[in-house]
Structure 1
Amino acid sequence: MKILFYSSKDFEIPFLKEANSKNQKISFIKDALTSETALKAVGYQAISIFSGDDASSLVLEKLWDLGVKYIALRSAGHNNVHLTAAKNYGFKVANVPDYSPYAIAEHASALLLALNRKIVTASTQVKAYNFLQKHLMGFNIHGKKVGLIGTGSIGSAMASIMNGYGCTILAYDISPNYDLETKYNLKYVGLDQLCIESDIISLHIPLTEDNYYLINKERMALMKKNVVIVNTARGAHVNTVAIIEALEIKQIAGYCTDVYEKEAGTFFKDFSEIGIKDKVLKKLLSLPNVLLTPHQGYMTVEAVENIAEMTFNTLNSWNENRESRHEL
């Protein structure tokens, strides 16, 4: 089977080549999948895409007409794939769930600590030989109430980490895992109660129609003025315009995120010389109580190895006319 990998990044290609134990015919391009780049899949039976690629109904129609039958995501999230259309056409689609929950959870905790303790500001200062402490005040994580929205594998890993810091953990999930209550000093509550009581709120849920803009103006109005919001899930869980306003009027204290609702066309590219045109993103980045990283939560050696291996487990299954256990 010939496989085309869209959105290929230099650092992941060696891992993917190593995982290709059955020597399938593979090609890599840096282009993201779009309605235009879909034509590059001519002659391929399978493609592999990343979270920023466009697998909308229109793109799927083009891919199907070109002879593509299989789509392997190198991500857990799959909101960029129109699954109903994919099923109607006859595609087989699979993702890579649970490739390394601790990679994401550890990044979430790192963002929280870095923003709270002003690590970026302090590093910039001392490199300029400024050793003053005037603007470096943070707060203890220990003893705080942490609200976890989502307690799947990543949320559970975050619960473990926050429990280790000595936090009280509130959680909201449409499918609660009550084993976590005794394991991590965790209590399930309603979403509004979580927003009202938490000092820190961290999101760990897949993006669906029901939780689009889950964090909006109305919910932030419920929150404490000293709350810090952490988002390593999906950018569209948060209304960016609303959170900018809340940060500016000091309705909330901080926002640290690894994702952004309009990543397509900006993330995974270098604009350091020409700048960006997205005015909302520019405004977000200009705020002193915001820390944003470029969707790098999954970037650990262990996670990338697992992604490569799980991707090829799926592709090998399809090549041998077997179902993949990760099919969506």
Structure 2
Amino acid sequence: MPDSKNTDLVSFYVNAATREHTVRSYRAAVEHYERHWGGLLPATPDAIAQYLSHYADKLSSSTLAHRLAVLAKWHNEYGFPDPTKAPLVKQVMKGIRQTHPYQPKQARPLQLEELDTIIQSLDSLITESKDYWQRLRHIRNKAILLLGFWRAFRADELTNIYIEHVIVIPNKGMSLYLPNSKGDRNNKGTTYKVPALQKLCPVTAYQDWITAAELTEGPLFIGIDRWGHFNQHNMTPNTIINIVRDCARDAGLEHPESFSSHSLRRGFASWADSNDWSLKDLMEYVGWKDPKTALRYIDSYNRIQQRFIEPLK
């Protein structure tokens, strides 16, 4: 016979299966419809169509499609008819896509030369900083950038690294285990190998950070507030984005706002492509399953231009 304890366990594992990012995204979409738009749930097809029309020129069609998916999920979960499947709603979405074509925005890849410039800037700041806690931030940021670049990690992967899941192999590199990530749909966990390099070494940067911060367990990358207190919780992906941009700005790179955490992933893919990695090797290293996904990260235009197009004189 089922009891309350087993019921609680079922709820626990159901909640565990839903990623935190997914929960936040779901909550934000419902809140946008109810609070910002002023819509009522359950909704009618006409109300959904008006909602879409109102934001057609304000939000991308992909964002609106995501909002529709969330609203559909809400109605299905609570046993109401799904208004998003109505012909009117589908027709409005089709019209929005035709009238407001959406070109996905891509983060500017952080090229290896730019990464080198940033690391040199951070090294100078580490040496010159008289504030102990500010120096720690620079050491941490250096580790974030180098590990993120050479393993082509997304921000959510960087924030999900735990020290107890990292093994350093002297003079060779290190391995780290991620229990789950966006690309690991079945939550099987993935082990990544990280190389030790002569220059811009992610392993040395990792060791410098945990030594300076005296960290032995818990999240690898944690926040440090203005008073020098550690935040023992995982950093957020948005914090990683801000760190990349701030470091680019401090190093004097142009248009630092064009960088994001994805710039590390795109930058590595660009570096691997320019060094003649095969698509298969790149996919295996990063963990991509679909070639179309990998190709979105590779900017081969410059290579084609250099090889086959004679420059103007």
Structure-2-length-normalised TM-score: 0.26
Which protein is bigger by CA-based radius of gyration? 2
The answer to which structure has the higher helix fraction is 2
The answer to which structure has the higher strand fraction is 1
Structure-1-length-normalised TM-score: 0.26
